[in-house]
Structure 1
Amino acid sequence: MELKKIVFFMLATLLILTGCTGKAQSGEENIVKIGALHPLSGGLANEGQEMRDAARLAVKEVNEAGGIKSLGGAKVELIEADHEGAPEKGMSEIQRLDREKVVGVIGAYSSGVTLPATQEAERAGIPFVVDIATVEEVTERGFKYTFRVQPPASMMAENFLEYFDVLNEMSETPLETVVLVHEDSVFGTSIASLIEKGASDHQIDVLDNIPHAATAADISSTINKINRLKPDAVIATTYLRDGTLLVNGLNQSNFQPKVIIGVANGAFSNTAFINDETDINQHIMDVNYSINPQSELALEVSQKYEDQFNKHMGPNAAYSYTATKVLIDAVERAGSTDRAKIQEALSETNLTEHILPQDTIVFDESGQNANAQAVLNQIINGETKVIYPDEYKNADPVLPTK
């Protein structure tokens, strides 16, 4: 009997020391895990690594500022996941992050991966804050755990049509005819279709709508079609590789449109394209995401990013940084690592202190950032500048561009 009493006493003491209230055990009680799902390898690795680095910066800032105060200064740990641009890998990585017991996930850059990844997160009850993925369906499936920071495809198209009208008001030589060029996944196709649908209301004559594979090694047939049609403007939705091919092809051809305008273009607002392709990128425009160049906080964060990673903070990185801060803000307000409570806190987000060119970040009933919008950027002397709307601009547009 005496031995049983001793064993019982030791077990009771152990339970008291380790905690029997459901909290994490020694060394883990002050750690909150969040997942970051991006293409860290494969054809989109440049973009994915840029976004991962932005999430790292956001986590570092929070930890250096004392961690999550409502959880006793708990430190945030970023669990990084690589979906390689493959939908099935995105789903399996969500399953792994679930096993890692993350309280939420940000991601995932590719719409084709984001759709199944958010579906898997919904099944597991994991809050998912989408940084980049434009396709409309992301927030149209009635999911409770999906929240998107960036503007959807419909808003990108709407912003483009509005800004196209503004450009025509500014220019002495109106733009009337366009050719739409886009990569052929759900990303490029959805945006091009929305633009084509609304074009006539803005007196835009769409001469052709030309898809291509983002992995295409040659798009000379597209260049030849543009040369035959001779549009005033080429409107492009691409990734970095195919977007660079398109601009190179147009520059080497006999015909030059008055303007090249990207819409959510993965090349034209990409740091690599802006910095490395100065021979061909002068005055190219893009209706896309950006930091707010009129915000002191945005400029400070951008400088930190450049100092830490030795590269410019592009729009993809700006949205990953923001998505990370949005998720951590929700954890702070929830005062809990319970995913359901964090989901509830996300639905009540009202974030005024951020780096984006928009008003307060709030989510509507579908999980969409209600104030999300794109801006009109232009590459001027190797730098991307916001040229519209006026409240965010830091340069005047150069028109015509050719």
Structure 2
Amino acid sequence: MAEKLAPATLALHAGETERRPGAPVTASPQLAASFFTHPDAIGFSANDLAENAPHFYTRWSNPTADSLERTLAALEGGEAAVSFASGMAAVSALFLDRLAAGDHLLLSDVCYAGVAELAQDILPRHGIAATLVDTADPAAVEAALRPNTRLVHVETPANPILKLTDIAAVAAIAHAGGAELSVDSTIATPFGTRPLALGADYVVHSLTKYISGHGDALGGAVIGGAARMAALRRQGLIHLGGALAPFNAWLSLRGLETLAPRMALHEANARRLEAFLAEHPKVRSVLWPGSPRHPQHALARRQMRNFSGLLAFSARSGSGALAARLAERLRVISYAVSLGKTKSLLFYIPTDDLLRASFRLRGAQEAAYRDWAGEGVFRFSAGLEDADDLIADLAQALG
């Protein structure tokens, strides 16, 4: 597919196979687990997997997943991609592929809770040390680097407080220290940020969120250089086994077809909601990268082309009681976990719980998180409903 095409066009056409009479305009999912082969075509061991090997078994590769991977690579400007059964499967495979006993991982101190817990609870069992650092501060990243740091992993915008990391600055620091940089760009999507163009070595997505977009499919992906992705396929995918189901790959492909217009509407609705919440007497603060009120708005404007549809707000007081009130009174917005769906979702994340169970921050890092989040944040994934209806629903529920 020609690189000169715009991202919205690539999202629809980058994964297409050769056009010929009788070929479907919209590809159907190929669900087969096994494919015709020949003794000369492929070895029985994944360690012998050669470049451009034919499909053999769906845990190794699949035509539907292949189409999805080609589309994601095109959108991110990468050479190749590998798809996984979930975003956590993608992150876990990348970490275990790039890190070994004796290595050190630097990780955003605000990130998806499951990733923070993986780094602190599971990686040390394999002899891999992990340090959570404020990656919004390049100087802190540089100070935290060790001679054995092999990977720096950042999430930007970071879940749940939408804190940003300057990808280009951190990439330069990581590379100068002999480390690689991976970026979880789930919230930004390829229409918001292209981390590879800013110097990252890998981009990670939870396809479950905006890319699938309908709340009906789990999935994950890593995008990067062809050689690194081939190695990740052999070890992180085939041997760890977190293969993406072909039907879920097709659902993500379907989601990609509408990602451009969906992200435009998600962003537009988030802009309206942020303006409403910022003036509400019960709201302490609102965090959304597209707003001039966001403390890193200048970086957002420089690094993001779309500010996404996720925002967070905190209450002046009584956050727990307000969460219960919203869960009971919301009629259009759903009180539910996750983000990036067609329907609006809101969920309360108490600061004490997140710091205790997942982030485990102390001292200045804890104080910085509390400064952003207060007692807790109401993570609000703005959906595709009419903005006036969303505002009216919030108004009546907040009281």
TM-score (norm 2): 0.28
TM-score (norm 1): 0.28
**Which has more radius of gyration?**
1
